[in-house]
Amino acid sequence: MSGSNAEILQEFEGNLVYDYINYAMTALVAYEYLLSIDQEVALIWRRKWTGATWLFATNRYLLIANVVVAVLPGVSQTSCVGGSGVFEVIQLAQYIIFALFSALRIYALWDRNGVLFFLILAMSLTPVAINIYLFSHATEVFEDDPVFGPGCDFFYTGVSQIDYLHCKQ
């Protein structure tokens, strides 16, 4: 097998594994939601909305949105930029929710220590800042690959090649 055929096969297998993981994630999330929807209705939707209920609902439904976007079929050239933007916003919002939840947990466990709250919040928001920087320097390119089908690819300007390899989505 020539080098290019081996590379195509390796990339195809990698994409296949990625697809299997996305479908498994979708099945797991759907199963968990179906099992717990009655508890959610009783404990969340039928009570007064507080910061905790907003945090829970936002976390829960951002995960659903992320799963839906991850398993959508191939994109078109016109939806490449918009679709990747939606996906990026959902991911950033999830990071923010995780950061807030972590900081609030530390705040509660460490006797309402505000210094630790802000320290954990700042450290947890670091991925958000990095992703905003990377996304602001990214160029979305639509590729209609004959083997793998249509899709968006990201090219980062102002970022070294090593960083690009580790951050490519």
- DSSP output for the chain: --HHHHHHHHHHHHHHHHHHHHHHHHHHHHHHHHHHHHHHIIIIITS---HHHHHHHHHHHHHHHHHHHHH-----TTTHHHHHHHHHHHHHHHHHHHHHHHHHHHHHHTTS-HHHHHHHHHHHTHHHHHHHHHHHTEEEEEEEETTTEEEEEEEETTS-HHHHHHH--
Residue that wins the pLDDT comparison between 131 and 4:
131
- pLDDT category, 13, cuts 50, 70, 90? confident
Q: Would residue 6 count as lying in a domain? A: no
Q: Would residue 95 count as lying in a domain? A: yes
CB 53 within 8 A of CB 127: no
Q: Would residue 65 count as lying in a domain? A: yes
Q: Would residue 16 count as lying in a domain? A: no
- pLDDT value of position 3: 56
- pLDDT category, 142, cuts 50, 70, 90? confident
- pLDDT category, 52, cuts 50, 70, 90? confident
Q: Would residue 137 count as lying in a domain? A: yes
Q: Would residue 130 count as lying in a domain? A: yes
Mean pLDDT for the stretch of residues 73-87? 68
Residue that wins the pLDDT comparison between 115 and 76:
115
What is the dihedral angle through the alpha carbons of 100, 105, 108, 109, rounded to the nearest 10 degrees? -150
Strand partners, 92: none
169 has pLDDT over 60: no
Residues 136 and 156: their CA atoms lie apart, in Å, by 9
Q: Would residue 132 count as lying in a domain? A: yes
146 has pLDDT over 80: no
- pLDDT value of position 158: 63
What is the dihedral angle through the alpha carbons of 90, 96, 99, 104, rounded to the nearest 10 degrees? -120
- pLDDT value of position 88: 84
Residues 161 and 138: their CA atoms lie apart, in Å, by 13
Minimum mean pLDDT among 3-7, 15-19, 51-55, 71-75: which range?
Answer: 71-75
- Count the domains in the chain: 1
Q: Would residue 150 count as lying in a domain? A: yes
Full residue range of the structural domain in which residue 81 is found: 49-167
Mean pLDDT for the stretch of residues 52-65? 89
- pLDDT value of position 17: 82
